[in-house]
Amino acid sequence: MKLDTSGFETSVPTIGFGSSSDMLDELSSVPSFDLPHTKEFDGFQKKAVDMLKHAKGTTTLAFIFKGGVMVAADSRASMGGYISSQSVKKIIEINPYMLGTMAGGAADCQFWHRNLGIKCRLHELANKRRISVSGASKLLANMLYSYRGMGLSVGTMIAGWDETGPGLYYVDNEGGRLKGDRFSVGSGSPYAYGVLDSGYKYEMSVEEASELARRSIYHATFRDGASGGVASVYHVGPEGWTKLSGDDVGELHYHYYPVPPAIAEQVMEEATTE
Amino acid sequence: MQIFEYNGSAVVAMVGKNCFAIASDRRLGVQLQTIATDFQRISKIHDHLFIGLSGLATDVQTLYQRLVFRHKLYQLREERDMKPETFASLVSAILYEKRFGPYLCQPVIAGLGDDNKPFICTMDSIGAKELAKDFVVSGTASESLYGACEAMFKPDMEAEELFETISQALLSSVDRDCLSGWGGHVYVVTPNEIKEKILKGRMD
């Protein structure tokens, strides 16, 4: 867990009366860094970190079942109350047999997942075999642990299929890493857990599992203000991952709860009041 | 989040040709969690006067009850309905009475005055009136609503076109706001009738 300390070395030597003497040259090689000009030295870093800390406004879930791993997520990005996008890709394809989900800071998740993809590929080239899901999640957890306290916001699940079968790990910015069968991350996760836990059976078929995942995401987008957009569902099997569906939750609502058609001849955007 | 954004709301009113339309979203939430999708934000004071209240839901309901009370007293004493301009002044006075412990709502008042001339106005939470000739907005989605109304509004629209315009403006604005939406409620009022419609919107 070696931290990158190249930022400490300054290009300009710190001591410089008459820089020709030998003793001064040795002293000038001591690593040091520029102190920031601020009144409040003790607190300013925490304030800067808190400013960037985004609540994990999203819903992602993943579970292991007989047919592999099912991964699903919404697609809304919010900045406080404003919806900045309804079409964010929150399921990141690390390599053809491993997926990562995004919750928390979008930049953090995208960067660290791509970084993980690079490390996995290097492992493959160095060891002539694919990395396991356990190994990949451990790499990510260790990287995040070394940046603990610096304000990264990452709540991700690594799902994949390796020699031992399906694998699912939860990794977060505190450096925590948990192995499990069912996870949901984000502000909409309590609602997704409710539907997922009550409908889950290990012996589900792929169709039943994908419908359960889609329904869980839909219910979370209904109740949670920070989740919405499109519910994407991916399946990870022995041959790798495939995208099963990407349904707009606005339309899914009327698919699950259709409004009885109005008798009158009025035009669009009208529903009978109850 | 701020106290005005605790429950989430969006209200808009527009002026047409001898008619007006007032619309609101239907969500009641507790910060990010949605509790109900049929919350009434717009209420009728009399056949030609409606008030929509955005902001903290408890104050919305209490303030509405107080205003209905005051209007009923007025009706008993004056034996007629209140004019919209008068009602706006009444609301402004009631809000300013609580200057140092205000009702945390922003009302939108819409009515037909003398000669069926439409009247709309909005206020901040301590009673500063803002009269407008075209449209007024309030709530957590107000910035999006300003943009949408500015782009879609045309003066002197008839009731049908006004309904389409206000519905589109409301739905497209709340689709950019996490805290409001989950359907829409529109009233289009002409001198002879009140049309009430519920909009099918995105439920996320």
Please state, rounded to an integer, the average pLDDT across all residues of chain B: 94
When pLDDT is cut at 50, 70 and 90, the band that residue A149 belongs to is confident
In angstroms, rounded to a whole number, what is the distance separating the alpha carbons of residues B110 and B108? Answer: 7
Partner-chain contact A83 B202, CB within 8 Å: no
Partner-chain contact B167 A229, CB within 8 Å: no
Partner-chain contact A271 B167, CB within 8 Å: no
User: Cβ contacts (< 8 Å) between A74 and chain B: which residues?
Assistant: 204
- Interval A182-187 mean pLDDT: 94
User: Cβ contacts (< 8 Å) between A247 and chain B: which residues?
Assistant: none
Give the per-residue pLDDT at A16. Answer: 45
Q: Quickly count: other Cβ atoms within 10 Å of residue A203's Cβ.
A: 8
A212 CA: distance to closest CA in chain B (Å) = 18
Residues of chain A whose beta carbon is less than 8 angstroms from a beta carbon of chain B are 57, 74, 76, 78, 80-83, 86, 187, 221-229, 249-250, 253-254, 259, 269-273
User: ipTM of the predicted structure?
Assistant: 0.83
In angstroms, rounded to a whole number, what is the distance separating the alpha carbons of residues A166 and A184? Answer: 17
Residue (of B76, B29, B68, B77) closest to B49 by Cα position: B68
- Interval B54-70 mean pLDDT: 95
Give the per-residue pLDDT at B18. Answer: 94
User: Cβ contacts (< 8 Å) between A259 and chain B: which residues?
Assistant: 200
- Interval B42-52 mean pLDDT: 95
In angstroms, rounded to a whole number, what is the distance separating the alpha carbons of residues A61 and A71? Answer: 6
The amino acid sitting at B190 is T
Torsion over CA of A80, A81, A85 and A90, rounded to 10 degrees? Answer: 60
Distant-in-sequence, close-in-space partners of A182: CB < 8 Å, separation ≥ 6: A61, A62, A63, A64, A196, A197, A200
- Interval B22-44 mean pLDDT: 94
- Interval B52-62 mean pLDDT: 95
Residue of A nearest to B196 (CA): A273
Asked if B6 and B30 touch (Cβ cutoff 8 Å), the reply is yes
Mutate to test the interface with B, among A215, A269, A270, A274 (most CBs of B within 10 A): A269
- Interval A38-56 mean pLDDT: 63
Residues 51..110 of B with a Cβ closer than 8 Å to A: which?
A: none
Handedness of CA B66, B67, B73, B77 (dihedral sign): positive
Q: Quickly count: other Cβ atoms within 10 Å of residue A83's Cβ.
A: 24
Give the per-residue pLDDT at A18. Answer: 44
- Interval B117-143 mean pLDDT: 94
Mutate to test the interface with B, among A58, A83, A222, A273 (most CBs of B within 10 A): A83
Asked if B16 and B158 touch (Cβ cutoff 8 Å), the reply is yes
Q: Does B33 touch chain A (CB under 8 A)?
A: yes
Give the per-residue pLDDT at A67. Answer: 92
Q: Measured between alpha carbons, how far apart are the two ends of chain B, in Å?
A: 20
User: Cβ contacts (< 8 Å) between A76 and chain B: which residues?
Assistant: 178, 204
Asked if A113 and A100 touch (Cβ cutoff 8 Å), the reply is yes
Give the per-residue pLDDT at A79. Answer: 83
Q: Which helix (H) or strand (E) holds A162?
A: strand A155-162
Please state, rounded to an integer, the average pLDDT across all residues of chain A: 84
Q: Does B120 touch chain A (CB under 8 A)?
A: no
Give the per-residue pLDDT at A12. Answer: 52
Give the per-residue pLDDT at A24. Answer: 46
In angstroms, rounded to a whole number, what is the distance separating the alpha carbons of residues B84 and A44? Answer: 52
pTM of the model as a whole = 0.79
- Whether B151 has a pLDDT exceeding 90, the answer reads yes
User: Cβ contacts (< 8 Å) between B7 and chain A: which residues?
Assistant: none
Q: Which residue has the tokens 């603990």?
A: A148
Q: For A112-126, how does the pLDDT look when each residue is reduced to its tens digit (9 = 90+)?
A: 989 999 999 999 999
Q: Which residue has the higher pLDDT, A272 or B4?
A: B4
- Whether B92 has a pLDDT exceeding 60, the answer reads yes
Asked if A185 and A170 touch (Cβ cutoff 8 Å), the reply is yes
Handedness of CA B137, B165, A268, A74 (dihedral sign): negative
> Strand runs (DSSP E) across B57-157, as ranges?
105-112, 118-123, 129-132, 135-139
Q: For A193-217, how does the pLDDT look when each residue is reduced to its tens digit (9 = 90+)?
A: 999 999 999 999 999 999 999 999 9
Partner-chain contact B178 A223, CB within 8 Å: no
Partner-chain contact A249 B203, CB within 8 Å: yes
A255 CA: distance to closest CA in chain B (Å) = 12
Give the per-residue pLDDT at A19. Answer: 44
Instruction: Pinpoint the alpha helices (H) of A152-205.
Output: 189-199
When pLDDT is cut at 50, 70 and 90, the band that residue B172 belongs to is very high
- Whether A64 has a pLDDT exceeding 70, the answer reads yes
- Whether A17 has a pLDDT exceeding 80, the answer reads no
Q: For A221-252, how does the pLDDT look when each residue is reduced to its tens digit (9 = 90+)?
A: 999 999 999 999 999 999 999 999 899 999 99
Candidates A81, A249, A269; nearest CB to B178:
A81
- Whether A20 has a pLDDT exceeding 50, the answer reads no
Give the per-residue pLDDT at A45. Answer: 66
